[in-house]
Amino acid sequence: MRRVLGPGRLILATVVIGVLTGFGATGFHFLADRFGEFLFSWAESQTAVSRLPFVLVIPTIGLGLVGLVLQYYPPARLGGVREVFEAIEHHAGVIPLLRIWNVILSALVLAFGGSVGPEGPMVQMGALVGSLVGQGSGLAGFQLQTVVRAGAAAGIAAAFRSPAGGVLLALEVFGAKFNLDLTAISAAAGIAYLTRTALLGDAHPFALPVPAQAVPLPGLLLIAPLMGLAAAPTGHLFIRMLARAKTAPPLRWPLSARVALGGLLVGAIGIYYPQVLSAGYPVIVKSLHGGLEVKLFVILLILKMVATSITFGSGAVGGLFAPTLVMGALYGGAFGFGFHALFPRAVPQPELFVLLGMIVMFGSIVKGYWSGLLMVADMSGAYHALLLPGIIAGGISFLLSWELHDESVFGLPLEQPKEATAALAGAR
């Protein structure tokens, strides 16, 4: 039976990982979110004609420059959730410092309007911190893998403001076990969350404008299961779109040109629907305040799928968690407000279904059933109202998704351009 980490080194590594990841999340926020707000915060209030040159030029040039770096420095293409998983499974938790370039470039893609999210890069950053701290402490083997998982959980906790979600994601996605090492993972997640919220506040970014109400029995027995059933094929559709988009751009073109083309196409969507640009979290907040019509929920859901597929298909880097949550919120908004119009007693608070949509879509696309439930509950603070319908709808979506695609979105065999394959192989 293997020994657990020495308590002294474990405690020190846990504290350092949590604090550094919390500070890293704050820095990422200022680079990606604040810079992006500076570039696009005015867009939604303008007419399509007045914002046209900006939403075309900024994503095209910005993503083109990012693509230029990716083209001439292939190691920067390696990062995110899949890379962390492979580092744990196949490289004993060793992650080179060069992976920080993927985090920085992902932040710039987000700032320039690419339909990506901050959470995947934050997982990469947290895991990188865990790996470097672990190696600096003389840890190796399963001990190093443990602190890398702790860093990944800390990254999720800081990005989502959800320590419980970070821990469960480490269990569901990164192979953590229910043993004493889970204590280190939990503590690192908690410290990263506290550091991030102490610096920036906003512990519940998706809080409902009024106290959450329990879903009535007809909603639990009929509408929640139907929501879960429909979420699985919706998530499957997005995964197929994402896989197809990876091979859509002309592979003979330089990577910089392909990424710039992706920015141009996403910007073209943003002329009339700027809500699809960047992570898209403002549209979740607006949905929770009843600021969208059912028709717009459906349109934005489809366009967010398209914009995200284009961004990643072009070769850009970034996270998939945020687009998944935005798609889930739009799906849940269409479902909740649509059924509220038909059966108001069964769905008295349609805003709650915006949150439920995030849970069911996360379970379908990411295969994170419990982690998705806890993360959305943490971000909204609506634990009691979300628990039962989230278990029902999320569980159905999660189970049915395995019949449609037997891997999460991070396990897809997305094909890469031939000229990149050799370069990436040598980047290890």
pLDDT at position 45 over 60: yes
Higher pLDDT, 19 or 279: 19
Q: How far is CA 107 from the centre of its chain?
A: 13
Q: Residue 48 in contact with residue 219, Cβ under 8 Å? A: no
Spatial distance between the Cα atoms of 16 and 192, rounded to a whole number of angstroms: 9
Instruction: Give the residue carrying structure tokens 């994170």.
Output: 368
Spatial distance between the Cα atoms of 103 and 78, rounded to a whole number of angstroms: 10
Helix (H, G, I), strand (E, B) or coil at 117: strand
- Name the percent of the chain lying above pLDDT 90: 59
Dihedral angle over CA of 58, 358, 30, 60, nearest 10: -10
Query: What is the rounded average pLDDT for all residues in the chain?
Result: 88
- Name the percent of the chain lying above pLDDT 70: 93
Mean pLDDT, range 144-148, rounded to an integer: 91
User: DSSP secondary structure string, 286-299?
Assistant: HHHTT-S-HHHHHH
Backbone torsions φ then ψ of 405, nearest 5 degrees? -150, 125
Spatial distance between the Cα atoms of 247 and 273, rounded to a whole number of angstroms: 25
Q: How far is CA 303 from the centre of its chain?
A: 17
Residue 390: count of CB within 10 angstroms of its CB: 28
Spatial distance between the Cα atoms of 91 and 292, rounded to a whole number of angstroms: 46
**Domains in the chain, CATH or no CATH each:** 7-200 (1.10.3080.10), 217-411 (1.10.3080.10)
Mean pLDDT, range 210-238, rounded to an integer: 94
Backbone torsions φ then ψ of 389, nearest 5 degrees? -65, -30
Q: Is the pTM of this model over 0.95?
A: no
Spatial distance between the Cα atoms of 153 and 172, rounded to a whole number of angstroms: 11
Q: Give, as one character, the DSSP assignment of residue 221.
A: I
Q: Give, as one character, the DSSP assignment of residue 77.
A: G
- Residue 415's pLDDT band, with cuts at 50, 70 and 90, is very low
Report the range of poorest mean pLDDT among 29-33, 94-98, 281-285, 356-360. 29-33
Q: Residue 28 in contact with residue 201, Cβ under 8 Å? A: no
Report the range of poorest mean pLDDT among 5-14, 20-29, 48-57, 156-165. 5-14
Among 147, 137, 153, smallest CA distance to 181 is for: 147
Mean pLDDT, range 396-402, rounded to an integer: 95
Among 319, 398, 366, 379, smallest CA distance to 164 is for: 379
H or E element that contains 302? helix 294-313
Q: Residue 309 in contact with residue 272, Cβ under 8 Å? A: no
Highest mean pLDDT among 138-142, 173-177, 322-326, 414-418: 322-326
Helix (H, G, I), strand (E, B) or coil at 319: strand
- Residue 33's pLDDT band, with cuts at 50, 70 and 90, is confident
pLDDT at position 2 over 90: no
pLDDT of residue 412: 59
Structure tokens at 75: 């190691």
Spatial distance between the Cα atoms of 304 and 408, rounded to a whole number of angstroms: 19
Structure tokens at 221: 């027995």
pLDDT of residue 43: 65
Mean pLDDT, range 43-60, rounded to an integer: 81
Among 311, 38, 55, smallest CA distance to 303 is for: 311
Helix (H, G, I), strand (E, B) or coil at 370: helix
- Residue 349's pLDDT band, with cuts at 50, 70 and 90, is very high
Mean pLDDT, range 49-77, rounded to an integer: 91
Report the range of poorest mean pLDDT among 94-108, 265-279, 356-370, 397-411. 397-411
Query: Tens digit of pLDDT for each residue in 355-390?
Result: 999 999 999 998 888 889 999 999 999 999 999 999
Helix (H, G, I), strand (E, B) or coil at 273: coil
